Amino acid sequence: MSWDWLREALTTFFAVTMWPTGIYFLLANTAMLVLIVIAARHFSRYLRRSEHRGEDAMAGSPVSLGVSVIMPAYNEEAVIRTSVRSVLDLRYPDHEVIVVNDGSADATMQVLKDAYGLVLDDRDVPGRIPVRGTIRGIWRAPDGAVPLTVVDKENSGRSDSVNVGLDLASKDLVVMVDADSILEPDSLLSVSKPFADDPERVVATGGVVRIVNNSRVQGGRIVDVRMPKQTIARIQVVEYLRAFLLGRTAWSDLGALILISGAFGMFRRDVLIDVGGLDPDSIGEDFELVMRIQKWIKEGKRDLRVEFVAEPVSWTECPSTVKVLARQRRRWHRGLWEVLWGYRAMLLNPKYGKVGMVALPYYWLFELFAPLVEIAGIILVPLGLLLGVVDPAFAILLIVVSYVYGTLVTLAAVVVEESSFHRYERWSDLGATLWAVIAENFGYRQLTAIWRLQGWWAGLTNQKQVWGEMTRAGFSEEADEPTGTPAR
Amino acid sequence: MITPLPAEFLWVVLIASSALIVGSLAALLLQRTRRHARARRREALDAQLRPLVLEATVAEGDEIDDVLERVRALARVEREHIGRTAYQMLRDITGEAATNLRAVADAAGLVPRVVADTRSRDAVIRADAAEALGLLAPEGALERLRELARDPSPEVRTVAVRALGGFDDDAAVRSIVAALAADSGVPATVATTALLQQGWAAGDRVRLALEDEDPSVRRGAARVAGILQAPGSAERLVALVDDPLESVRIAAMRSLERVPSRDAVGPLVRAALEGGVLGEAAATTLLAMPGAWTREAIARIDHEAEPGVRRAAGLRRKEAAA
């Protein structure tokens, strides 16, 4: 059998994609490098002002904007008590906590009833946001001694649960947190500061989410930050640094932030109600919400902003097994595709300013298409080598260059973290970080690219999204690996 | 055979990236080594000098003079460290201990440096200096802070206004009230918090500010009037319940929770029936008022208001009530 047709096809393919692929590879990494430089400049300005930021004054001020913390909970009996306690104990002058028990099959509701002696709250329900899950009952701490409301409802998903909480929220600002997240004591102060500084213009802020695996937790607080033990989790630490901390800081600086993590986002309540809360049908509900807000801002020609706060605020467990990580990445990429497709009218549309002209093209090109390009390269270059279409020496050079340049970009992110927040203080942690920077290139990147493509395909073919079961052991008081992942 | 890109170009990228990786690694190691070395030096100085600072904190009467003499006799590096330590402690300490710490910082030579920094060209240094002036409160600090409250940089103005909150003086109050204006560049939360720090001393100015032409000033004053229990403010707050600006109306309603007035019941019911955030604020205020004043108002809300307002008024769900 002759392979000439394939050889010819590959020759044509490489001839056509020669320059576009090279330019794509350079642009993707250079764009990330530019974002890192912008973030580094932002951190430098931010940290120079640490002496006079005035958070202490705000912490004690009775005129600070009130905050409703909404915590959806599904089968969280292992952590719910600690999570609620730690949120109630946050340093902030005026905040309430609304836990929405999303039809848990375990004892989440009973744990809360026992811990706080909850009593039924039969006050009217505003009904400003349409919700799907039937509410079984609303409970609150007796005599208003603790600013805690617990809603017990049938299972209807995280977004719908947040909407239920939003409907009952009574403060000016609303923050959504995951029950398995651990918040820094000053997290509400940090994330609400842009609202206090510019209450007329700031409508949403996102806080940094970091990885808690293997860090020491006591009484719902991180007391010793450590790198995770498993390589898979270590790589995610580096990934979070590069993409979430630095990437989002830069987008915020550029005035084009379109993604706030669902694990820690703060919003003006009136705006959230105006736009209709979270979309319960969206897989990337946090991304979708911020896109909807940006659209609402631009179409209404409103002088409003979405900001990102670089100060570490929230710590969450990351997947520590390949199976759970795969599920997470498939879901993330599917969510990315569905939101980008849903808001395609904003792409390259000058009406939407930097969001339409800069951020969205970046996300389409370098986030959505990245796994496709990567997998195409992984398949076609070896095939070209096999068929003698590609020069072996050149192919090796190309692969080395792409990984070395990618490593440089990630290392730059680590350098910026080291010169700014430097949360991992041990030399062994630095070693683990550097190992993760290198290890990311060998298997992890390729695997995540495959999972992301699978997620995209699932979205294109409209397959039913299946949420994984949660297995959680809670945060060990003496550190060690907390198991389980935020996958539902 | 195809070579997608010129090999020379790839070699340039490879060599440049490799060089930058080596540079980054060196920077990483250098940063960490220097930071750890600095931390060790600070720890050593802390161990040596903290007892002296603590001695100063608890010193009584003339004892402080002896401590200050010993501070002045220290080497420059040690004086700088002790000045810094005293300054940091001032954020959490008040009373006589704070007075002593201010004297320690002064003896360590911090005050002249801070005063000089207020004239720096760099706005961040001026802002830091304004913060320090507020904490150290040396002679002439009030006048200097009032000047900084008119600084060209909004960042400096903000810190200066916040610092002015700690000076019990009518001139300070005037500067803070001026900072409530929409064009001041000072966040309203900062100015109102500074006013609250002034306590009763700010009462008269706040009452006057409730009638200011600038809605931002009215809103700021309305936010603090209730907490300060400013004498004679209730009547003006009632008038503000019908202010043209919604945020002023809400601020006035929230203040009326603390300085309740029977005259407010009518305007509050009207606001409650408007619904939305405004209606909820009105209902919450009515709920905080004596029941004898609001019985009819609550009954009207029960029949006519939207569910969110009913909830804020503490009213039960219709089906639950049935």
For B13, which residue in chain A has the nearest alpha carbon? A401
Q: How far is A426 from chain B (nearest CA, A)?
A: 10
Which of A21, A404, A418 has the CB atom closest to B17's CB atom?
A404
**pLDDT at residue A466 is higher than 80:** no
Q: Please check whether residue B257 touches A, CB under 8 A.
A: no
Partners of B188 on chain A (C-beta within 8 Å) are: 199
Contact: B4, A18; criterion CB under 8 Å: yes
Sole residue written with tokens 């309305």: B222
Contact: B14, A390; criterion CB under 8 Å: no
Partners of B277 on chain A (C-beta within 8 Å) are: 269-270
In tens digits, chain B (322 residues) has pLDDT values of 555 567 888 899 999 999 999 999 999 999 999 999 999 999 999 999 999 999 999 988 888 999 999 999 999 999 999 999 999 999 888 888 999 999 999 999 999 999 999 999 999 999 999 999 999 999 999 999 999 999 999 999 999 999 999 998 999 999 999 999 999 999 999 999 999 999 888 989 999 999 999 999 999 999 999 999 888 899 999 999 999 999 999 999 999 999 999 999 999 999 999 999 999 999 999 999 999 999 999 999 999 999 999 999 999 887 655 5
pLDDT at B319: 66
Confidence label for A486 from pLDDT (cuts 50, 70 and 90): very low
What one-letter code names the amino acid at A223?
V
- The tally of domains found in chain A comes to 1
Chain A residues 23-42 with a CB less than 8 Å from chain B: 26
- Structural domain including A396 reads 1-52+180-488
Distance CA B247, CA B254 (A): 11
- The tokens describing A229, both together, are 């033990």
The total number of residues shown for chain B amounts to: 322
Sole residue written with tokens 């095939």: A383
Distance CA B141, CA B128 (A): 14
Partners of B224 on chain A (C-beta within 8 Å) are: 63
A122 in any annotated domain: no
A378 in any annotated domain: yes
Q: Please check whether residue A143 touches B, CB under 8 A.
A: no
Contact: B128, A170; criterion CB under 8 Å: no
Q: Exposed (0-12), middle (13-18) or buried (19+): which is B288, by Cβ within 10 Å?
A: middle
Contact: B35, A422; criterion CB under 8 Å: yes
Sole residue written with tokens 């080291």: A418
Of A219-233, A283-297, A323-337, the one with minimum mean pLDDT is: A219-233
Q: How far is B254 from chain A (nearest CA, A)?
A: 10
A348 in any annotated domain: yes
Interval A349-400: pLDDT, tens:
999 999 999 999 999 999 999 999 999 988 888 888 888 888 888 888 888 9
A73 in any annotated domain: no
Contact: A391, B1; criterion CB under 8 Å: yes
User: Which residue of B113, B311, B318 is the best one to mutate when testing the A interface, meaning the one whose CB has the most A CBs within 10 A?
Assistant: B311
Confidence label for A475 from pLDDT (cuts 50, 70 and 90): low
Q: How far is A280 from chain B (nearest CA, A)?
A: 22
Which of A21, A415, A427 has the CB atom closest to B27's CB atom?
A415
Q: How far is B112 from chain A (nearest CA, A)?
A: 18
Contacts of A445 (CB under 8 A, 6+ apart): A374, A406
A158 in any annotated domain: no
Q: Please check whether residue A12 touches B, CB under 8 A.
A: no
Contact: A422, B4; criterion CB under 8 Å: no
Beta carbons within 10 angstroms of residue B176's beta carbon:
33
Q: How far is A363 from chain B (nearest CA, A)?
A: 25
Q: Exposed (0-12), middle (13-18) or buried (19+): which is B119, by Cβ within 10 Å?
A: exposed
Distance CA A264, CA A261 (A): 6
- The tokens describing A478, both together, are 């003496």
Sole residue written with tokens 């009406």: A351
CB–CB of B189/A199 below 8 Å?
A: yes
pLDDT at B320: 59
A240 in any annotated domain: yes
Chain A residues 376-405 with a CB less than 8 Å from chain B: 384, 388-391, 394, 397-398, 400-401, 404-405
**DSSP string for residues in B204-239:** HHHHHHTT-SSHHHHHHHHHHHHHHT-TTHHHHHHH
Beta carbons within 10 angstroms of residue A15's beta carbon:
12
Contact: B316, A400; criterion CB under 8 Å: no
- The tokens describing B152, both together, are 């060209």
**pLDDT at residue A465 is higher than 80:** no
Distance CA B270, CA B264 (A): 10
A101 in any annotated domain: no
A150 in any annotated domain: no
Q: Please check whether residue B306 touches A, CB under 8 A.
A: yes
Tell me what ipTM this predicted complex has. 0.86
Edge-first strand listing for the sheet containing A135-140: A119-120, A135-140, A148-153, A95-102, A67-73, A173-177, A264-268, A202-211, A305-316, A182-183
**pLDDT at residue A478 is higher than 70:** no
**DSSP string for residues in A340-352:** HHHTGGGTT-GGG
Residue A279 DSSP SS3: coil
Contacts of B201 (CB under 8 A, 6+ apart): B168, B169, B170, B173
